[in-house]
Chain A
Amino acid sequence: MDVRRVESISAQLEEASSTGDTVEDEMEMATVRHRPEALELLEAQSKFTKKELQILYRGFKNECPSGVVNEETFKEIYSQFFPQGDSTTYAHFLFNAFDTDHNGSVSFEDFVMGLSILLRGTVQEKLNWAFNLYDINKDGYITKEEMLDIMKAIYDMMGKCTYPVLKEDAPRQHVETFFQKMDKNKDGVVTIDEFIESCQKDENIMRSMQLFENVI
């Protein structure tokens, strides 16, 4: 997917600023304008209709007038939905999952592709996406440490005011349960096939995958 940069200044700045000068960085952020691909192209690539894409883009552009979301903005937006806890860590993982080309910013195309998989994709695709989210270093294996990080991030989002009060090692216990369920060959890591297979066997997970079908 090629990205059209409208302002040539930003391109020059990119080449020039290898020193990491903060002022220039700010300027770059300010002058970056990103125009997404044409509506028809996006419609063909994703599984949304034109109207849905219009609604999505309006909401997207409202919060991010420059056309791209950087991690700070992403965290800010996501934390507004979870005021009681600290959702920055989980938002960080989400950001990495959406930012498929790992360029530090989520453009509208990335956004739409991600949503297309999550809302209109097959169960296989959704599970694939979830695996991608859990696999923090994208090496194809979920280790216990990675899972623990994810679990802690999810528990952080809940905040301190839960009833009953969550114990300190609740994440760890949760990870143990998860690994017992998922890790078939008990080698301490979960591969993508183990993951998909275990999930497909679990009725609860299958049912909950359909939960967010009609979000748009």
Chain B
Amino acid sequence: MAAGVAAWLPFARAAAIGWMPVANCPMPLAPTEKNKRQDELIILNVSGRRFQTWRTTLERYPDTLLGSTEKEFFFNEDTKEYFFDRDPEVFRCILNFYRTGKLHYPRYECISAYDEELAFYGILPEIIGDCCYEEYKDRKRENAERLMDDNDSENNQEGSMPSLSFRQTMWRAFENPHTSTLALVFYYVTGFFIAVSVITNVVETVPCGTVPGNKELPCGERYAVAFFCLDTACVMIFTVEYLLRLFAAPSRYRFIRSVMSIIDVVAIMPYYIGLVMTNNEDVSGAFVTLRVFRVFRIFKFSRHSQGLRILGYTLKSCASELGFLLFSLTMAIIIFATVMFYAEKGSSASKFTSIPASFWYTIVTMTTLGYGDMVPKTIAGKIFGSICSLSGVLVIALPVPVIVSNFSRIYHQNQRADKRRAQKKARLARIRVAKTGSSNAYLHSKRNGLLNEALELTGSTEEEQHMTKGTSLIESQHHHLLHCLEKTTVSTNTIPPPRPGLCAWHGLPMDKVPTECSEVALGQAHPVPGVCQRGWF
């Protein structure tokens, strides 16, 4: 039953009179209201901002802090109000929950701050209303991912290196080139050779110079030996790399099935097949076709470029949109090709010889290429041709923004992950500095503390003030606590290093050692300057 509807309970009970004359048996007794007190306004002072509400409003949810007697712990007798030293902005949402029965999540609020406030007031986050629940869950998930990322990278950094085998180190080096300089060198070398290989493939086909006989020769045939050597070198490197990766992979079967390894294999296969088949003239045609596969080497760059990987991932994730694009295009092509064919059937010497032949015209028109090798001559053909080009623009333009936005989202996510990782290093450094700073402060104050005790015993106030200027009460209490811990664990025989001019046992300046010290009582001077021999502790 919603909280607000509780106010209508008296009405529902009154309406029950309608059942009375019909009832066969007597009714049960009504519950009496014990200590029925008048509804009163209570004041909730949250960090200075005063909220007021009825007591019954808060009592709607008795299992929360405000609805139970737990709030009495925060009651301030002097001002007769409940004081909470918490965030007043978030309290507004929480109080609205009592009033309306719906808990909202303000978008500008930090998710962890909001969670803390909810936990403080004893409200479960599951009751957030539908209007804000999606947003809350999204933010919470992002935060959890970020925490997990941080934990993971922490573990990775703190992971003990010696426990990894040689094979595992190699695999890590392959996957993440920044782990060691050797890995980085390897990374750049392979990248360089991929580039070289791709460029040689391209340059091979460029005509460079003529041979006597006025025949244009491509560079590949002119400098055949040089190109062959380059190709061999590249393939050597790629083969070695592939075999090393295969060796280092934690799961060889999975590695062989992965996309990158398939690309690697396809990139180097043509060379070996070519080696085997060089002398056979018949299959040289097939051999030439195989050379086309050498262009796949360019995909090896995706290990080096994150953008390329993201593009591939986007295309994979937008498979449905791409499928829709393809399907709608196919439909439109078939429709328009058919129409154009029948429209142009009448005209003489028409290029639209069959419907499949019209496919080419439709595709060229719909993508607004317009080569002009096939043009309609009849009026009907021209009309349908223009409709075709207009609709082409629409059909292609529709799914493209979806793919673009997907790419943008994934790209930005990756950027954010990288930025987080970079900031993490700086943050860890800062935390380390803070930790060492505080432990330094402790050591510093320990020495001061000894001096403090001395001064307190002597009752010298000016020097005492001078000493306590640096530390606050909380700090000094904290340091005293750490000092006690030290004293607990330190063996009683060791003497703390004495400050010059102070007695090691008492920590007092030599001339102020108490008279209980038997040496002094006996009239003897301290035998060892700086150390009182009194065994009493």
Contacts and interface: CB of A to CB of B under 8 A. Distances in A.
Are these two chains actual partners, yes or no? Answer: yes
Interface of A: 51, 55-56, 58-60, 62-63, 77-78, 80-81, 83, 93-94, 97, 111, 114-115, 118-119, 126-127, 129-130, 133-134, 150-151, 154, 174, 177-178, 182, 195, 199, 204-205, 207-209, 211-212, 214-216
B1 A80 contact: yes
A204 B30 contact: no
Interface of B: 1-2, 4-5, 7-27, 29-30, 32-33, 38-39
A205 B4 contact: no
Contacts of B12: 78, 81
Contact of B22 (A94, A115, A127, A178): A178
Contact of B17 (A83, A93, A130): A130
Given A174-B22, A208-B20, A215 B5 contact: no
Given A130-B20, A215-B13, 15 more contacts: A81-B5, A81-B8, A81-B12, A93-B18, A94-B15, A94-B18, A119-B14, A130-B17, A130-B21, A154-B19, A177-B24, A204-B27, A211-B20, A214-B30, A214-B32
A60 B10 CA distance: 11
A133 B30 contact: no
B8 A77 contact: yes
Given A151-B22, A208-B23, A80 B5 contact: yes
Contacts of B33: 214
B24 A212 contact: no
7 smallest beta-carbon distances between A and B, as pairs: A59-B7, A118-B14, A208-B27, A208-B20, A215-B10, A204-B26, A81-B12
B17 A81 contact: no
B21 A212 contact: no
Which residue, of B1, B15, B25, B33, has the highest number of chain A Cβ atoms within 10 A?
Answer: B15
Chain B interface SS verdict (over half) = helix
A28 to B, nearest CB: 24
Residue with the greatest number of chain A CB neighbours at <10 A, chosen from B24, B32, B38: B24
A205 B21 contact: yes
B30 A211 contact: yes
Contacts of A151: 22
A119 B11 CA distance: 9
A80 B19 CA distance: 18
B54 to A, nearest CB: 8
Contacts of A51: 38
A209 B17 contact: yes
Contact of A63 (B1, B4, B23): B4
B379 to A, nearest CB: 47
Nearest to B36: A214
A151 B18 CA distance: 11
A150 B14 contact: no
A174 B26 CA distance: 15
A62 B11 contact: no
